Structure 1
C-alpha cells in the first residue's frame, strides 16, 4: 500500500530537476520489461534507419566525453541507465546511445544522424552544450501532424513524441548580446522533406532525430526514468504509450558535446550517402 506521504514525496522527486540520477526501481512492476542492453542494441540495429556505425575508438571517445560532462555537471549515476549523447559539430551531427554503469565500461547501443541548430538567421540558435535532464518539470507532448506555414510537418508525423528539456540559454546571431533563451526539444521531423537532411545542421536549435529512433526511445522508455516513476507511484503521464515496454534501467539524460575535427569522419557520411540500417 502506498501512503499519502509517500505519494507526496514521490511527486516532489519527479517534479524536481534531477541533479542526481535515481537508481532504477529495485522491484520492477509487471510493466517493466527485463530486456538486457544487448537486446536493446539488437532492436536498434533492426529498427533504426538511417543509422551510423562507429568504430571502437569513437565509441570509447564519446563514452568518455559523456562521463566527463556528467562529472562537470556534478551528476552521479546511482544505477545503470541509458544516456543519449549528441555531437553538434557541423561535420558530425550524430546521436549515440549508451548503457552507462558506475565503475564499469559503458556499452555502446547504436548511433544515428541528427540535425542540430544552424545560426545565421533570425530565431535560429546553436544547440547548447551540456547535460539536460528529461523530467516532468517540462512535460513532453505529441505531434499533431499538422503542417506549418511552409507546408512542413515540423514535429514529424502525427503521434511522434516531442521530448522537452526546458528553456536554455543558447548562442544566436541576430543581436549584439549574441545569447538568448530558447526551448530545447528533441523530436522527429518532416519524413518527406527534412529527414533526408539529417546529418547536417538544419534546425532552429532543437535536435531532430530519425522517426525510427524517436519510436525506439519512446516504446522502450529509454529516457523515461522520471515518467515511469510517476506512473508507478502517482499517476501515468498521458504522453506515455499504452503499448510501451519500458526497460529496466531507463535513463533521463541528454548530453550535447562538440568534438574537435578538421574533416568529416568516414562513419558519419554526408546525408546523400547515408544508407538505411547497416
Structure 2
C-alpha cells in the first residue's frame, strides 16, 4: 500500500508542482480595469492626465516602437517614461491591436540629471525587460551619505541592461550605462520625484514598484520562465515573489520618450520641498 502511494505521488508530482506554483501566484487579474482600480487604491503618487495628453504619449510610444523596429504582438502592458525635465512621469498603458491605448495610471519619476559628474541623460528608446538582464532586490543598505539608492529592503530593481547614453558632464559624448528602473530612498529622495535627480536610471515611487512587482505587469518573460520551470520541476526565477498575482497580458517593454516641453503641464506639478521639522 505504501509503495503504491509513493508511485502515485511521483507520477503526479509534475502536476502537483504546477498547481502549487499557481496557488502561490494567486488568481490572475483578467481585465485592465481591475489593474486600474488597484493603481488608484495602492499608489498615492498619481498624475491625472487629460485625454489629449494620454493620446499624445501613446503616439510618442508608438513612434518609438516603429523607430526601434519592435512589433507589438498581442495585447500587453507597456510602461512609458517622459524624461523631459518639465514632466518627469511614467505612464502605464494596456495596448491591444486595433484599439486605442488604455491608460492604467501615471506617477512622477526622476530621470538622469545632467551637469554633474557620472550622471547620464536617460536614453530614449524601447527597452526589453527580460531574463537576459536579471532583476534583483534591494538590500536596503545605505551609502556613505546615508542614502538607500535602491530604496527600502526588498524593492524590485528592474534591470534593462547596458545602454548607450549621453554623458551629462565634461565634453559630453556617449558612453554605456546600466539602465535600471527602481525605487529610491523613501526619506531623502522619494519626495523629489517629478524632478531630474538620478544618474541616468529611472526612479519610481515605492508603491508603484510594489504594484508592478505584485501583478507582474512587465514580467512576461519572467512568468514564461516560471511556467517552464514548473513543468520541468525546476526553480522559477528567484526574484519573483511567492505571493504575486500575475496579471493577464503581462508586458515586457519600457519606452522612454521626450516630449520636449518648454513649460510644466498642470497635471505634472513640480515637487514641493519637505516642510521643516
TM-score above 0.5: yes
Q: Give the structure 2 partner of residue 10 of structure 1.
A: none
Q: Does 1:195 align with 2:190?
A: yes
**Alpha-carbon distance in structure 1 between the residues aligned to 2:182 and 2:28:** 24
Do the aligned residues in 1 keep the contact of 2:191 with 2:273 (CA within 8 Å)? no
The 1:273–1:54 alpha-carbon spacing in structure 2 relative to 1, beyond 3 Å, is: farther
Within-5 A mapping of 1:9-48: 31=25, 33-48=28-43
**The one of 233, 236, 241 aligned to 2:228:** 233
Q: Give the structure 2 partner of residue 83 of structure 1.
A: 78
**Alpha-carbon distance in structure 1 between the residues aligned to 2:57 and 2:273:** 23
**The one of 43, 52, 74 aligned to 2:47:** 52
Do the aligned residues in 1 keep the contact of 2:167 with 2:175 (CA within 8 Å)? yes
**Alpha-carbon distance in structure 2 between the residues aligned to 1:84 and 1:61:** 14
Q: Report deviation, 1:74.
A: 1.1
Q: Equivalent residue of 1:229, what SS? A: helix
Structure 2 unaligned regions, length at least 5: 1-21, 230-234
Q: Equivalent residue of 2:249, what SS? A: coil
Do the aligned residues in 1 keep the contact of 2:121 with 2:168 (CA within 8 Å)? no
Do the aligned residues in 1 keep the contact of 2:194 with 2:268 (CA within 8 Å)? yes
Q: Report deviation, 1:177.
A: 5.5
Q: Give the structure 2 partner of residue 265 of structure 1.
A: 265
Q: Give the structure 1 partner of residue 163 of structure 2.
A: 168
Structure index of larger Rg: 2
Q: Report deviation, 1:194.
A: 0.2
- Considering only aligned residues, what root-mean-square deviation do their CA atoms show, in Å? 1.5
Q: Report deviation, 1:104.
A: 1.1
**Alpha-carbon distance in structure 2 between the residues aligned to 1:218 and 1:153:** 19
User: How many residues get paired?
Assistant: 246
The structure richer in helix per residue is 2
**Alpha-carbon distance in structure 1 between the residues aligned to 2:44 and 2:119:** 27
Q: Give the structure 1 partner of residue 173 of structure 2.
A: 178
**Alpha-carbon distance in structure 1 between the residues aligned to 2:73 and 2:216:** 18
**Alpha-carbon distance in structure 1 between the residues aligned to 2:103 and 2:273:** 23
Q: With structure 1 as the length reference, what TM-score do the two structures score? A: 0.86
Q: Give the structure 2 partner of residue 102 of structure 1.
A: 97
